[in-house]
A and B are shown apart, each in its own frame.
Chain A
Amino acid sequence: MLNIVDLTKEYKNVTAVDHLNLTIEDGEFFGLLGPNGAGKTTTVRMISTITPKTSGDIVIDGESIDRNLTTIKAKIGVVPQQNNLENEMSAWENLEVHGILYHIGKEKRRQKIAELLEFTGLTERKDDLAKTYSGGMKRKLMIARALLHEPEMLLLDEPTVGLDAGARRKMWDLLKRLKSNGLTVLLTTHYIEEAEVLCDRVGLINKGKLVQLDTPLNLIEEVGKVTVEYFEDGKTHEEFFRTREEANTYAGTIEGEVRIRPSNLEDVFLKFTNRRVES
């Protein structure tokens, strides 16, 4: 279980994360959703001990984490937003080094590596240098690497950014398989659809603060399951309603082009942060 208590990160000019409180249960697939600069990466980097926190606490299974506590770090697997593979090494070599650093015995290491290369579909390219990989392949290799030491929790910072629609869907399938294996996952994204498809619970974060926290369905219900979208004064407006009847009634009062559609997480986001999420 991951407990984040009053976590704060201040940089010179901005408070990137502002008294964040969050609990992620074992086996949960948790999504941290927010626009650019919301503080998602900073949060993940503090959990993975890359960025020192300003104040607050991060507790995993009852133990506060710290860069110099080597045991607890083995419980986490991290896939950062930015590629950090050894470019001059092959996929297999990248995994081998990781396995050695995480004290996995040779036999088990070799077997796990073969398994994960298969799982991520990289077996055929395992001897090619990482720098020759496409963006999607690099991401997959980073996921394979993060899973190699069998962590209890996986931190994924925007795992599908820069992937085309097909590759993104394949990545989702891969993540769903992880989920069904019972791994605890903290995923950050600004793709609303990604959070809706994958996450048990979603935290909306804006300017370093948690704005809302619930299951995707509850969040949508809370806002109103039905959205009326219309165009007026040069802007698109949205109104939310509990039922289709209410929405119909309201739509009848509007002149011009009106669209009635089911609400989605993006609407929730819009309502709580008053800004559109870029995707």
Chain B
Amino acid sequence: MSGLYGILWQEAVVFRRKFWATTLGNMVSPILYLIAFGWGLGGSVQMNGMSYMAYIIPGIIGMNTMMISFSNTGSSINISRLFYKTFESYMISPINMTVYALGKIIAGALYGAYSALLIIILVSVFTTDLAITPYFVLVALLNCLVFSAMGFFVGLLVNSHSDMSKFTSFVITPMSFLCGTFFPVDKMPEVLSWIIYLLPLTHTNIALRSAGESPEQMALHVGVLVAYFIVLFVLGAHHCKNVE
């Protein structure tokens, strides 16, 4: 496992060096969403019997961990492969490429988890509505892993940085708006909501709110996320062994 340690050590060194830029950068968009939708719009809106602010905080955590995990792993792999060529130094080294995939995905997920932590600290200043349960933590972490694994796979697959941002525009951004971040999925036309129920972020957002759900439903969300993670991880690790 010294391969895994090596990759995480490398990521930790870079994280420490960019600590403030990462920390401040991670806080900008959640703060904007909280201001715009929580205070601005939210003052006059009630959602499912609670204040809109209380409603969107878990959604913002779901959305933001998705974005941060995906983009950190995705662009890190993509740039390292196409631009800095550091990816090659790992291909040459005796590290098993599955371990490499695991290391990079964990690192990206930790960036996502860190951003979630920042949001939690941020909102705890002016609301006590957010209940952090072990289930909440589990779902948030799974969400980070799913989208970090997706970033890894897409970063390997796509052969230019602009295609990377196209994927973000066509897949990641639509998910952030449609998967129950800002409003419940059942407000959507029925056919559309079926499709949306297949997407991982939908399950994350519902699970993070977990209001009035049965244990079976709660388990289903976890199951969907785990399944997504396994499929994306296997795809990424497999592709890693054959990529040029």
Binding site for B on A (CB under 8 A): 48-52, 67-68, 70-71, 73-74, 76, 78, 80, 82-89, 93, 96-98, 100-103
Contact = CB atoms under 8 A, between A and B. Distances in A.
B94 A70 contact: yes
A17 B80 CA distance: 26
Interface of B, helix, strand, loop or mixed by DSSP = helix
B242 interface: yes
19 contacts: A48-B91, A50-B91, A50-B92, A52-B244, A68-B96, A68-B241, A70-B94, A70-B95, A73-B93, A83-B85, A84-B84, A84-B85, A89-B17, A98-B89, A98-B93, A100-B2, A100-B6, A101-B6, A102-B94
A264 B242 CA distance: 43
**Contact residues of A: prevailing secondary structure:** loop
A103 B5 contact: no
B178 to A, nearest CB: 36
Q: Which of B5, B6, B244 has the most CB of A within 10 A?
A: B6
B13 interface: yes
B86 interface: yes
Interface string B75-101: 000000000111011111111110000
B41 to A, nearest CB: 39
Contact of B14 (A68, A70, A89): A89
B187 interface: no
A73 B96 contact: no
A86 B241 contact: no
A80 B9 contact: no
Contact of B94 (A71, A85, A88, A97): A71
Contacts of A82: 85
